[in-house]
Amino acid sequence: MDELRLQYRLLKQSVMDELLERLRTGTPSFFEKVVVDLMVAMGYGGDVEEATGVLGRTGDGGVDGVIKEDVLGLDMIYVQAKRWANSVMRPEIQKFAGSLEGMRAKKGVFITTSTFSNGAREYVDMIEKKIVLIDGEQLVDYMFRYGLGVSPSETFVVKRVDEDYFAGSE
C-alpha cells in the first residue's frame, strides 16, 4: 500500500509539473480564465458566467480584477494575477496592498506562476490587510485538487479480505 501511495504522489507531481508548464507558456487571457475558473471551483464568485471577465477589466491601480467572496456578493476579493517566470518581490506586494487600501478593500489574492520572495511573504505577515499569496506550485496543487485542467485517466480499486464475510468460518 505504501508503494501505491508513493507512485500516486510521483504521478501527481508529474501532472502538476506539466500543468505549471502549460500555464507559463499559455496566453495571458488563458491564465486569467484559469484564475477565474479556479476561484469559482473553490466557491468564490458565484458561477463562471458571473465571474468571467472580472480579471483584466479593471487594470487600474495594481488590481487585475474583483470577484465576489460568496454567491451573494457580501464581500469582494481583489485579485492580482501574474504569469511571471521571475520571483515576485516585496515591492509588487506593497503596490498591491496600496491598491487595496485605495479601494478600501480588506482582502486580496495575489496569484503567480512563479514564486514569492521571502521579503514578499514577510510583508504580507506584517500588514493588517488579508492578502493570500498563491505561487505556481500552490496554484497547480489547487487545480489538481479541484479538478481544473485535469481529468481521470484510470481508476484502481484496492481490495482486501472482508473479515465480516469470513467471520465464523474457523
Tens of pLDDT along 124-133?
999 999 999 9
- Domain CATH code at residue 42: 3.40.1350.10
Q: Is there a contact between 88 and 121 (Cβ–Cβ < 8 Å)?
A: no
Rounded Cα–Cα distance for residues 102 and 168 (Å): 73
Q: pTM of the prediction? A: 0.85
157 in a structural domain? no
Residue 68: the pLDDT is 84
Which residue carries 500588514 as its cell? 127
pLDDT value of residue 75? 85
Specify if 158 maps to a domain.
no
User: Tell me, what's the pLDDT at 36?
Assistant: 85
Which is nearest to 65 in space by CA: 74, 75, 56, 73? 56
Domain count along the chain: 1
What is d(CA 38, CA 147) in angstroms, rounded to the nearest whole number? 9
Give the structural domain span for 31.
2-145
Per the domain annotation, does 116 fall within a domain?
Answer: yes
Do the beta carbons of residue 63 and residue 96 sit within 8 Å? Answer: yes
What per-residue confidence (pLDDT) applies to 141?
A: 98
Q: Cell 506586494 identifies what position?
A: 93
Q: Is residue 13 part of a domain?
A: yes
Residue pLDDT, tens place only, 59-90: 556 788 888 887 777 888 899 999 999 999 99
Residue 50 in this model has a pLDDT that exceeds 70: no
Residue 115 lies in a domain: yes
156 within a domain of the structure (yes/no) = no
Considering the domain boundaries, does residue 166 fall inside one? no
Does some domain include residue 50?
yes
pLDDT digits (tens, 9 = 90+) for 82-121: 999 999 999 999 999 999 998 888 899 999 999 999 999 9
Predicted confidence at residue 61, as pLDDT, reads 64
